[in-house]
Amino acid sequence: MTILFTAIGGGLGAMLRYILDTILKERARMHPALSILIINALGSLVLGFTAAVILEAPAVHTLLIIGACGGFTTFSTASLDTYKLLQQRAFTLAVAHAIGQLAICVALAFAGFFIASRM
């Protein structure tokens, strides 16, 4: 069941990421690196909140945290975006992007835990 829950959650998370990424890039005309930052930040906030709320439910943990949040967020795409910025010789932006991804996502995961603990 664990593999099934991971697959279902991962598929749903990946579909949500695709939809939001498309909306941000096409409708909001957002730079791809910024859209992935927003997706990762949102996913980190949801992950922190969800992890704080469902610590005692292994099946839900697998479905939502490992599957859905794992499928929604994407460190590999953020890494590729940083690489592309380096290729374009946008060194300051590439460093800011890499550090920003980590700092913002960790801060929002903490915020998710904090919000959940206050409910």
Indicate if the pLDDT at residue 108 is higher than 80. Answer: yes
* Other residues' Cβ atoms within 10 Å of the Cβ of residue 80: 14
Radius of gyration, alpha carbons of the chain: 15
Distance CA 119, CA 113 (A): 10
Q: Which range is least confidently modeled, 33-47, 53-67, 80-94?
A: 53-67
Q: Which residues of 3-20 are buried (b: 16+ CB within 10 A; e: fewer)?
A: eebbeebbebbbebbeeb
Q: Are 93 and 85 in contact (CB under 8 A)?
A: yes
Distance CA 78, CA 100 (A): 10
What percent of the chain lies above the pLDDT cut of 70? 99
Indicate if the pLDDT at residue 88 is higher than 80. Answer: yes
The pTM assigned to this predicted structure is 0.86
43-81 pLDDT per residue, tens: 999 999 998 888 678 888 899 999 999 999 988 889 989
103 pLDDT tier (thresholds 50, 70, 90): very high
Distance CA 1, CA 7 (A): 10
